[in-house]
Amino acid sequence: MEGFTILLHTKQLFRKVISIGLCAAIGFTALGFGQAGKAEAATVTKADKVISTGKNYLGVKYRFGAPSGVTYAFDCSSFTQYIFKKNGITLPRSSSLQATKGVKVAKANLKKGDLVFFKDPGRAGRIGHVAVYIGNNKMLGASGKAVKISSMGSSYWSKHYVSARRVIKNYA
């Protein structure tokens, strides 16, 4: 009988150890997932925030000369001025003045959040358009009829590209 009691206690102890081990493994796994979520949240950059702000206005109509600070219509530079200001970065009102801010960036070194500039075909070599680079050779800006995402590789934009500027300090 004594051997049976020891065997019974051993089985119970074994079950408790297994149960505690499983609970610990599940708990540590859950903690690990929680930490991963926090790490991912920490990698959201100022550029991501600017782009996200801009995407909130996709489809808003384009209107040349739209006033600063309004959201019912944008032209290219009022759009960039607005979305950067919402994220703590002050830009001048016109695309030609925005092209003087920040640090010049080679086209091959573009990063999300950089301003990209294009010439105005009606004004010999002058800056006439600005948009925000969003990665993968795409840009977000107000042109044509609305705020939209466009490919910088299109024949029009690639032909009229002039330069880019990085206005986000301490780019992460």
Residue of 78, 81, 77, 57 whose CA lies nearest to 117: 77
The answer on 162 and 91 residing in a single domain is: yes
Q: DSSP string spanning the chain?
A: -HHHHHHHHHHHHHHHHHHHHHHHHHHHHHHHHHHHHHHHHHT--HHHHHHHHHHTTTTPBB-TTPPTT-SS-B-HHHHHHHHHHTTT----SSHHHHTTSSEE--GGG--TT-EEEEE-TTSTT-EEEEEEEEETTEEEEEETTEEEEEETTSHHHHHHEEEEEE--SS--
The answer on 160 and 100 residing in a single domain is: yes
Domains in the chain, number: 2
Q: pLDDT 10s per residue in the chain (172 long)?
A: 555 444 445 555 455 545 555 444 444 444 444 444 444 445 789 999 999 999 999 999 999 999 999 999 999 999 999 999 999 999 999 999 999 999 999 999 999 999 999 998 777 778 999 999 999 999 999 999 999 999 999 999 999 999 999 999 865 4
Residue 172 lies in a domain: no
Find the domain containing 26 and state its range: 1-43
The answer on 66 and 24 residing in a single domain is: no
The answer on 39 and 50 residing in a single domain is: no
Residue 140 lies in a domain: yes
CATH code of the domain covering residue 68:
3.90.1720.10
Which residue type does 120 have? Answer: D
pTM, to two decimals? 0.75
Residue 117 lies in a domain: yes
